[in-house]
Amino acid sequence: MKSNSPSVALFIPCYVDQFYPMVGIATLELLEKLGCTVTYPSGQTCCGQPLANAGYARDTVGTATHFIETFTDFDYVVCPSGSCTLHVKEHFPPIDGLKKEQEALEHKIYELIEFITDVLKIEKLEGKFPHRVGFHSSCHGQRGLHLSSGSELNQPPYNKARKLLENLEGLDWVELSRTDECCGFGGTFAVTEEALSIQMGKDRLADHLHHKTEILTGGDMSCIMHLQGIATRSKQELKFLHLAEILNQALS
Amino acid sequence: MTHPENAAEFLKDSQKAKWHDETLWFVRDKRDKVSKSIPEWEQLRELASGIKNNVLANLADYLEEFERNATKNGIIVHWAADSEEHNRLVLEILQQQDCRAVVKSKSILTEECHLNPYLEKHGIEVVDTDLGERIVQFLNQPPSHIVLPAIHLKKGEISELFHEKLKTEKGNEDPTYLTQAARVHLREKFFAAKVAITGVNFGIAETGEFVVCTNEGNADMGVHLAQVHIACMGIEKILPRRKDLGVFLRLLARSATGQPITNYNSHFRSPTPGKEIHIILVDNGRTAQLAREKFRNSLKCIRCGACMNTCPIYRRSGGFSYNSTVPGPIGSILSPGLDLKKHSSLPFASTLCGSCTDVCPVKINIHEQLYEWRQEVTKTQGEFAKGLAMKLANGIFKSPLAYKITGSLMRNAVKSLPNSLIYHPLNIWGKNRNLPDPPMESFQQWYRKNRA
Amino acid sequence: MSSREKILNTIRSLTLEPKALPDIPNLRGSGDLVERFTQSIYGNKGEVLSKSEFEKWFLSSGFSKVISLSSQFSKLATLPLPEDPHALDTLEVAILDGQFGVAENGAIWLEDSHLGLRALPFATEHLVIILDPDSLEDTMHQGYEKIAGAHSGFGLFLAGPSKTADIEQSLVIGAQGAKSLRVVWV
C-alpha cells in the first residue's frame, strides 16, 4: 500500500486519546511500518458508546453525525478498539441526510487487527518479542466482530490476534482456563455494578497469574485499563500492553 | 433492593460466591463439550430458532389447532388471560376433586403466577416434588435457577434443613443419604395425591399432545398415580409438528446441563380411561411481549437455563439478586415487559458480553435486547441526573473544542485532585481500582507536534 | 369476551411478519448404532446387559415382587399387573418391552400399549427394558419419523434411571422414580 494506496484514517477512541496516547502512537507507527498512508483527522472525538450503552442512544445523534462527517473522505477507518468499532458498525442511530455515508462507514471501519489480517491480508509478521503473553479476548471484538472463535459456538477455532502474535520470535502464548470470559469492564457497568465488575476483573487476573502471564495484552484498552487498575491496586506483578504496542515493538 | 446492591451482598460470602461461579461454569463447560460432539449443532440452533419464529408469527392459528386436537383427544382445555385467572382455574379443579393436597412438578409458569401461596391461602397443601424445588419450598424461598432450583445452597444447609423437616441424622451431609430421605418423603406424597400439577415443555399443535421432561421422574410419578393431571402451559410453548420435537429434545438437555437428553420425556396425548387431563393455556403478559417488536423473540425461550450458567454476572451474583421469577439474562429481557419500574436495574446487570446469545439454543439475541431495554428504561426515568450527564456528554463529543477542553481538564483533575474529590463515576471507579497514570499529553497533542 | 377470545383476538390484531416453517433435514450421526447406544445408556447411568448377564443378575438378586410384561420373560413375574397403580408402591422389578432405542442419547420409546400401567416404569424400584438391537435408530429425528403415525395416549422416551444433582450438583441415582435401568438385548 505505498503509492496510490487507499487512504487510511485513524480513529483513536476518546479514552485512548486522553489516557493512552502511546497506544495511538503505536497504532499509527505500526500501520506506517506496514506500508499504509495514515491520517489522523483532527476533529474527532468519541463514538458515543458510553451514552448508548447507558440507555441514551437517542442522545448520540450529534456525536454520530460528527463522527460520520469526520471520516467521510477516507477509504478505510482503522481503530485500535473492537468495542468502539462495533459501536460504530451496529449501534449508531440512523442519521437523516447521511444514509449513504453512514452505510459506507459501517463497511469501511475496521478494528486494527482485522484490518491487518483481512484488508492488508498479512498472514504473519516477522519480528521478535521474547515474552510470555496472555491474551484478553474482549467480548465486543470476539462475539461482536468475530475476531476469534467463541468457546460457546461449535465452529473451527481461530484467533486473528494469535495468528499475528504467535509468529513473533520468542513469544510464549499463555493458554488460559477460561479463554474468553468477560473481564467485567462493561462501560458504565464498571461503576454501576462496581462489586461485580471488580470480582470479574479479579477472576480474569487470577487466571492469567495462575498460568504465569508476564504481559497481559488485548485489543481494547478499556478492558486493559480496568484489569490494570485492579492489578495495580493489589500490587500484582503483571505488565499490560495493547496489541498494537506489542506488534509495533516487535517490528522495530 | 436493586441488582447492584444484591450482587454486592452475594459477593460478601466470597467462598460461596466462588463455589457458585465455578459450579455453574462447570455446567456450562459440559454444555460446551457436548454441543461440540454434535457436528450439526449450529444448524440445530438455526432450525429451532426458525421453528419458533414461525410459531410466534402464527401463534393464534397454532393455539386453535392445538386446542382442537387436544379436545379431540379427550383433554380439557382452559384459557387464562393472567395469573389470577390461572390460579383460580387450578383451584376450581382441585375443589371439584375435593383435593386438599396436590403434588406439583417443576413449572416456572406456576412460580410466575405465584400459584403456591394462592392455593395455600385456600387451604390446600402444595408439595413441590422436584428435589431442588422441595428444598427451597421448605425454606420458603423461590428457586434461584430455573433448572437448578437450589444451586444457591450448600449441602450443609440442606442437611440441617432435612434434619429439621425430615428427621435425618444431624450432620449427615451425604447427598445420596439426603436424596434417599427426600425420596421416602415424596413417594408418600405421590401415593396420596388425587391431583398432580405439571408444567409443559412443548405443546404440539398437530397432535394436541404435550411433552414434559424431567430427570427425576417426579412429574410422571405424580400424574400417573393421581386421578387428575393439570398441565399449566404458557401460550408460547407451542410447536407445530411432532417431528419438531426431534430438534428441540436434541437441544434442550444438552444446553441445560450438558446431558444428551433428560431421562424422562413424556408425551401426553389423552388421559388414561377414567381419568382427566386439564391443560391451562396462559397468557400473563405474553401477548403484550409479542406486540413489542424488538422484544418479541424473547418468547422463543425454552427455559434451558444455559444463559444463566454462562452469564458472568449470574454466576457471581446468584439468582435471587435479580428479584424476578426467571433470573439471569433471559429474565432480564422478559421481566421488564411485566413490570418495567420494578425490574429497571436488570437490563443494566450485564456487560453486554454476548455469551448468553451464543449459548442460546433458539438463538435469542439476548444481549441486544438488554441494550434495547436500556433505551426503554431511560425513557421512563425522565430528566434524572444520569440523563442530564449523558446529554452533557453528547454536547462534549459532538464538539471537538469542548472535547479537548474537557479532556485536558479530566487529565489534570486526575493528576492534581485527591481521590476523594474526583467526580462521582471516577470516584466509584477508584474504590478498588487505580486510574491510569495520566500522560503528559493526549494523542491529539502528540500528533500535532509530530506528524501534522 | 372470554379469555380465549381475548388472547386470540389480541394476537390476531398484531402485525406479525410471516416466517416460513423450516423443513427438518434428515440429520444423522455416524458410527455403530449398538456401540453408541450402549455408551449413551452408560452415560445416563443405566446398564446394558446380554440376556445371560441379565438372567444371572436377576437370579442372584432374589426379588420377590416382579411384574413382567415382556413375553420372553413372562416366567420371571411373581405378580400380575394390578388394576390400581397405587399397588406398585413396593414393586421391586418391572420388565417391559421397549419399542425402539435411539443411539445418540440412549432414549427408548415406550408406548401405552406395552406399559400396562403408565406409572409402572416410574414406580418400580428397578426397571428392566427388553430391546431388540435391530430396532435402534440413529438420532431423535429418525426416532420421531418412526412414531409419526403412532396415536397412543401416552408415550415416553426414557433414557435412564431417575436421577438428580440438586444437592451441590452431586449426581445421585434414584431420586423419585426407578433406582436403576437395565437394558437387555434380545
Q: Which residue of C has its CA nearest to B74?
A: C153
Complex ipTM above 0.85? Answer: yes
Residue of chain B whose Cα is closest to the Cα of A37: B451
- Chains in contact with A, counting 3 or more C-beta pairs less than 8 Å apart as contact: B
Q: How large a percentage of chain A has pLDDT more than 70?
A: 98
Does the structure show a pLDDT above 80 at B277? yes
**Closest chain B residue by Cα to residue C156:** B266
Give the residue ranges of DSSP H helices in B167-217. Answer: 175-192
CA nearest to B12 within chain A = A195
For chain C, 186 residues long, give each residue's pLDDT as a single digit of tens: 899 999 999 999 999 999 999 999 999 999 999 999 999 999 999 999 999 999 999 999 999 999 999 999 999 999 999 999 999 999 999 999 999 999 999 999 999 999 999 999 999 999 999 999 999 999 999 999 999 988 899 999 999 999 999 999 999 999 999 999 999 999
- The one-character DSSP state at B149 is T
β pairing state of C47-49 and C163-164: unpaired
Touch between chain C and chain A: 3 or more Cβ pairs under 8 Å? no
Task: Please name the residue that has the C-alpha cell 515493538.
Answer: A249
Q: How far apart are CA B106 and CA B100, in angstroms?
A: 19
Determine phi and psi for B233, rounding to 5 degrees.
-135, 125
Distance from CA of B361 to the nearest CA of C (A): 16
Which regions of A125-169 does DSSP assign to beta strands (E)?
132-136
- Residues of A in Cβ contact (< 8 Å) with B357: 143
Whether C159 sits inside 8 A of B63 (CB atoms) is no
Q: Are chains B and C in touch, 3+ Cβ pairs below 8 Å?
A: yes
Query: What CA–CA distances, in Å, run from B391 to B230, B394, B405, C58?
Result: 53, 5, 17, 77
Q: Which of C104, C117, C164 shows the shortest C-beta gap to B216?
A: C164
Q: State the count of interchain CB pairs (< 8 A) between B and C.
A: 237
**C-alpha cell recorded at residue B137:** 419450598
Instruction: Give B-chain residues touching C24 at CB under 8 angstroms.
Output: 47, 243-244, 246-247
Give the model confidence (pLDDT) of C41-65 as tens digits: 999 999 999 999 999 999 999 999 9
- In chain A, what is the straight-line distance between the N-terminal and C-terminal CA atoms, in Å? 19
* Full-model pTM: 0.95
3-state secondary structure of B353: coil
Which stretches of B243-292 are DSSP H helices?
244-256, 286-291
Q: How confident is the model at residue B422 (pLDDT cuts 50, 70, 90)?
A: very low
Mean local confidence (pLDDT), B257-273: 98
Tell me the residue length of chain B: 452
All 3 cell numbers of residue C156?
415416553
- Rounded to whole angstroms, the Cα distance separating B265 from B263 reads 7
Average pLDDT across chain C, whole number: 97
- SS3 call for C15: coil
| Chain centroid, CA B338 distance in Å | 14
Q: Could you report the per-residue pLDDT of A126-155, keeping only the tens digit for each?
A: 999 999 999 999 999 999 999 999 999 999
Contact B436 A153 (CB under 8 A): no
Nearest to B433 among A53, A58, A233 (CB): A233
Which three cell numbers, joined as nine digits, stand for A186? 462493561
**Can you read off the three cell numbers belonging to residue C180?**
436403576
Q: Which domains can be identified in chain C, with CATH numbers?
A: 29-185 (3.40.50.10420)
> Does position B412 have pLDDT exceeding 60, yes or no?
no
Contacts of B334 (CB under 8 A, 6+ apart): B289, B298, B301, B324, B326
- Structure confidence by residue, pLDDT tens digits, B327-343: 999 999 999 999 999 99
Task: Give the relative orientation of helices B14-36 and B3-12 as an angle to the nearest 10 degrees.
Answer: 100
Let me know the angle formed at the C-alpha of B241 by B240 and B247, rounded to the nearest 5 degrees. Answer: 100
The DSSP string of C156-170 is EEE-SS-EE-TTTT-
Residue B417 phi/psi, 5° resolution?
Answer: -85, 145
Write out the three cell numbers for B409: 481538564
**CB < 8 Å to A50, chain B:** 393
Nearest Cβ partner for A63 among B313, B375, B398: B398
pLDDT of the residue at B405 = 62
Residue with cell 451441590: C168
| Interface contact B399, partner A, CB < 8 A | yes
